[in-house]
Amino acid sequence: MFWRGVESDTITYSAVISTCENSGEWKKALQLFGAIAGSMLESNLIAFNASITACEKGAKWRKAFQFCSMLAKSKVNASNITFNGAISSCEKKCEWEKALLAFRDMVQSKFEVNTITLSAVISACEKGGEWERALQLLSTMLLSKVESNIITYNSVIS
């Protein structure tokens, strides 16, 4: 891809993917990620995370998990943002079991669990009718001293 005669690199692609993700243009973000894969460039964590978050915003949890699988096979290491995006994509489509699996992977990989993580898993459980699991997760949240917020409590009492 060229812009005004300057050849793009991974950083340029990542920035544009992030812009698409922030604009809700998940399809364009995924097309741009595909352009990286089709070129001689290597994807970086920003490109992966922006694509996963774009999938989350587009409620495309399967695609988010495909990116997680691609990330695991690459030389790039995941981050909290990677897991939070995958979990939130599951929450949007009531895929509580997948959200719990991603959460367990995150914990086993020793990533820091935060308010966003637990709120998304709790919400996924609530939307899936798994209120007992949601309460267990809230208890875990309080015991581990992860800060809760109004979204967390609303999910549990819904």
Q: What is the pLDDT of residues 36-89, one digit of tens each?
A: 877 777 888 988 999 999 998 888 899 999 999 999 988 889 999 999 999 999
The whole-angstrom separation of Cα 54 and Cα 143 is: 32
Name beta bridge partners: 7.
2
Between these two residues, 153 and 143, which has the higher pLDDT value?
Answer: 143
Q: What is the pTM of this model?
A: 0.81
Q: What is the model's pLDDT at position 5?
A: 58
Average pLDDT, rounded, for the chain: 85
Q: What is the model's pLDDT at position 2?
A: 47
Given pLDDT bands bounded at 50, 70 and 90, which one contains residue 156? low
Residue pair 78/71 in contact by the 8 Å Cβ criterion: yes
Cβ neighbours of residue 56 closer than 8 Å, sequence gap 6 or more: 64, 85, 86, 88, 89, 92
The whole-angstrom separation of Cα 39 and Cα 147 is: 42
